[in-house]
Chain A
Amino acid sequence: LAAQLSLSLAECPGTGSAQAGRAAACQGCPNQGLCAAGKAGPDPAEVAELRARLRAVRHTVLVLSGKGGVGKSTFSALLAHGLAADESKQVALLDIDICGPSIPKMMGLEGEQVHQSGSGWSPVYVEENLGVMSVGFLLSSPDDAVIWRGPKKNGLIKQFLRDVDWGEVDYLIVDTPPGTSDEHLSIVQYLSATHVDGAIIVTTPQEVSLQDVRKEINFCRKVKLPIIGVVENMSGFVCPKCKNESQIFPPTTGGAEKMCQNLNVSLLGKVPLDPQIGKSCDSGQSFLAEAPESPATLSYRNIIQRIQEYCEQQRFQEEKIM
């Protein structure tokens, strides 16, 4: 049995591939029935429905990691704030971390609820031009555990994309949970209904994080999701009193910089540790607004600008072709 499982691990054709459920390695795999019936992913009719709903979204970026606790949600929230600082842009932040939704607290929206209208679910607005959706808004109490298996999580993610009335959006940011599982497969498959500019991958400098992040990079390549670049969080700490710099999470194998060189992906930037970041997240405020002089703010702003440039450049190329 061990040999059989090892084999299927190596030779799984991928749940989204044409061979799903039909390859030799699929024999005995518990997913075989689902894959063969094409039920592992969304059906074309659903995708068409999503395409209609997401037609007015200009740019979509996914924030991924593979590793937990590296700052995906923190980064997603700050990216949203950073992009929404331009009042002419409409920004949407979608939190698909169903088990551990951090976005409501980070955006100062705890306790808010989702309202329904004729045109669908209404996002919760932080600013006029910044709307948010998360399972957090659907819970009766913030301590309620959402103990769902994959298919139920996938159903909610589909609803978030299909039933939320985002309106016209310049940037849709999707915050994800750690891992490479149902949520990630589903969001990539559902978002095939729209244009995805790419993924931003977040890590911290130590090898224990990088080894999970390399898997995430391989996941992106497997599902043909372009990688905008990697952000290294918690990259050094400068003491505000003595200004001495410490490596709290030493990059024993060269950190994100070396990994990016090896894997030929772009390093968008490194963000130092700043205790104010955690405090701002806890109090639901924008760290960029609360600590405009922090070196971390400078790093974040540079990274956000690079992401904007990447997205705008993509659009420019497309329009040239058209």
Chain B
Amino acid sequence: TLAERANLAGVRHIVLVLSGKGGVGKSTISTELALALRNAGKRVGILDVDLCGPSIPRMLRVQDSAVHQCDSGWVPVFVGQDKAIALMSIGFLLERPDDAVVWRGPKKNALIKQFVTDVAWGDLDFLIVDTPPGTSDEHISTVEALRPYQLLGAILVTTPQ
């Protein structure tokens, strides 16, 4: 729908950060990549679709932030030294940071779809999508939801063993 397309319409490049394996540094790389691109003068956003273990808010020191709404949807949290990196994560929706999000697939899929279509990203050069380990609901849903948009590609992160 037109409304759904609008929120990502101003995003030039969408990059997925994947692994398969956990604990190899996906979130770390996503964060550092965003900061480096910002340093190079680009407009950057991060979408954290790790619903069970969202690491990005802490890495950018915004774990206590909350999300607000506007006419076009959710307003991302703006982070980084110049508050210019847009971030969306389930971390911002939890009442308490230690609350476990114990959801089965369908509920996770619904939230991911909302994260893709209902966040007012504005104009971005890069949207970096950080994912959880595995090849399951989150990954299938994210790729499906992003299909209508300009998906640049995926960066795969690993460790040597």
Q: Residues of A at under 8 Å CB distance from B?
A: 1-3, 5-6, 9-10, 12, 14-15, 29-31, 34, 40, 66-70, 98-100, 145-151, 153, 177-182, 184-185, 204, 207-209, 211-212, 214-219, 222-223, 278, 281-282
B53 touches A177 (CB 8 A): no
Whether B99 pairs with A31 at a CB distance below 8 angstroms is no
A-B contact count (CB 8 A): 156
Considering the chains assembled together, what is the distance between the CA atoms of A234 and B58 in angstroms? 21
Contacts A10-B95, A99-B133, A153-B136 given; indicate if A2 touches B100 (C-beta within 8 A).
no
The A-contacting residues of B in range 77-131, CB under 8 angstroms, are 93-95, 97-111, 114, 118
Q: Which of B5-13, B17-25, B35-43 contacts A (4 or more CB under 8 A)?
A: B17-25
Tell me if B132 and A150 are in contact (CB < 8 A): no
Contacts of B58 in A (CB 8 A): 207-208, 211
Chain A to chain B contacts (Cβ below 8 Å), 19 pairs:
A9-B93, A9-B99, A30-B106, A34-B104, A66-B53, A67-B22, A68-B21, A68-B53, A99-B134, A100-B21, A148-B136, A179-B53, A181-B137, A182-B105, A208-B27, A212-B55, A214-B97, A218-B99, A278-B161
CB distance from B59 to the nearest CB of A (A): 7
How close is B91's CB to chain A, nearest CB, in angstroms? 9
Q: What is the chain B residue whose CB lies nearest that of A102?
A: B21
* Beyond A5-B93, A150-B104, 15 additional pairs, beta carbon < 8 A: A30-B106, A30-B107, A68-B53, A100-B22, A180-B100, A180-B101, A181-B137, A185-B104, A208-B55, A209-B23, A212-B55, A218-B98, A218-B99, A219-B102, A282-B161
- The tally of residues in B whose CB lies under 8 Å from a CB in A reads 45
Partner-A contacts on B (CB < 8 A):
20-24, 27, 52-53, 55, 58-59, 67, 69, 73-74, 93-95, 97-111, 114, 118, 132-137, 139-140, 159, 161
Q: Provided the pairs A99-B133, A147-B136, A222-B100 are in contact, do residues A181 and B20 lie with their beta carbons within 8 angstroms?
A: no
A233 shortest CB reach to chain B, Å: 10
- In the complex, the answer to whether B53 meets A67 with C-beta atoms within 8 Å is yes
Pair A222/B53 contact, Cβ less than 8 Å: no
CA distance A68 to B103 in the complex (A): 18
Q: Please tell me if the beta carbons of A149 and B137 are within 8 angstroms of each other in the complex.
A: yes
Contact partners of A211 in chain B: CB under 8 A: 53, 55, 58, 97-98
Asked whether B161 lies within 8 Å of A281 as measured between CB atoms, the reply is yes
Sorted from nearest, which 4 A-B pairs have the closest CB atoms?
A68-B22, A69-B23, A150-B105, A99-B134
Contact of A212 among B21, B52, B134, B139 (CB under 8 A): B52
Whether B111 lies near A15 (C-beta < 8 A) is no
Contacts of A67 in B (CB 8 A): 22-23, 53
> Residues of B contacting A181 with CB < 8 Å?
52, 102-105, 108, 137
> Closest residue to B22 on the A side, CB-wise?
A68
A280 CB to nearest chain B CB (Å): 11
- A29 proximity list for chain B (CB < 8 A): 107, 110
Contact assessment for A15 and B102 in the assembled complex, using a CB-CB cutoff below 8 Å:
yes
Flag if B101 contacts A9 (CB, 8 Å). yes
Residues of B within 8 A of A1 (CB): 114, 118
Q: Which chain A residues border B20 with CB–CB below 8 Å?
A: 99-100, 145
- Please give, as numbers and ranges, the residues of chain B lying within 8 Å of A208 by CB-CB distance: 27, 55, 58-59
Contacts of A182 in B (CB 8 A): 104-105, 137
